[in-house]
Amino acid sequence: MVEERGGAAGSGTRARTRRAIIDAAIGLLAGDPTASLGDVAAAAGVGRTTVHRYFPERSDLLTALGRDILEKVEAATVRARLDDGPAAKALERLCQEYFELGDGLTLMFETPQLATWSGWDEETAADQHFLNTVRRGHTDGSIDTELDEEWVRNLVWSLLYSAWAHTRTAGASKHSAMTLCLHTLRKAIAP
């Protein structure tokens, strides 16, 4: 039995279409921030009018991408198990999880419209958990106490940007880029 457009099957189809547009936009815009909504539609395998139905303006799509990336950052933070073991090791796990955000990282770092999106201004639960982990590292002796929480957070994001850029521009494997990232992190935060 086929359900009406507004039924459960319709909402499932709409959710899959929206997901396909967002995923295509992340991949496409990470490589070409000037790509048009028509390009996004082609990459998602839908018509331009379909993209406009979900995201009437480019700014609507960018807002959705920002929210999607923040949700993925939150999920990666949970997977990193920041409360387990020494804080320095927890930050290593966090780097590995964040690195897997791939093109989402590129968008975060290189898309000016996302950088000015108001959603970045709000401190998230992931942000707070990160800062608490650094404080715990000061207490458990695994992170240099002269490095304040904000410095360590900026350091981690900088290392992640460097690692991901190393794969994109130097052709390094993900494994070698992550190995370098973690090696640098260990040396940088060691007490």
Model pLDDT, residue 108 = 79
Radius of gyration of the chain (CA): 19
Which option is the CATH number for 1-56: 1.10.8, 2.50.20, 3.40.50, 1.10.10? Answer: 1.10.10
Nearest CA among 77, 82, 81, 35 for reference residue 58:
35
Q: Does domain 65-189 bear CATH number 1.10.520.10?
A: no
Reported pTM: 0.83
Tokens in use for 63? 């807002």
Please give the structure tokens belonging to residue 49. Answer: 């009018």
Higher pLDDT among residues 110 and 174, named by residue: 174
CATH 1.10.357.10 residue window(s) in the chain: 65-189
At residue 49, the pLDDT reads 94
Q: What is the mean pLDDT of residues 49-65?
A: 92
Instruction: Report yes or no: 87 and 137 within 8 Å, Cβ to Cβ.
Output: yes
Look up tokens 């650094």; give the residue: 134
172, two tokens: 């390094």
The answer to whether the CB of 94 falls within 8 A of the CB of 85 is: no
- Kindly state the average pLDDT of the residues 116-123: 65
- Please name the residues in contact with 187: beta carbons below 8 A apart, sequence gap of 6 or more: none
Quote the tokens at residue 79. 């997977």
How many Å apart are CA 44 and CA 28, to the nearest integer? 10
How large is the average pLDDT for residues 108-112?
A: 74
Instruction: Specify the higher pLDDT residue, 4 or 106.
Output: 106
Mean pLDDT of 180-188: 98
> Where do the CATH 1.10.10 domains begin and end in the chain?
1-56
- Give the span between the Cα atoms of 23 and 68, in whole angstroms: 9
Please report where in the chains the tokens 């458990």 appear, as a residue.
140
Does the pLDDT value for residue 77 go beyond 90? Answer: yes
Q: What is the pLDDT of residue 59?
A: 86
Instruction: List Cα–Cα distances, 124 to 14, 70, 71, 131, in angstroms.
Output: 28, 8, 10, 11
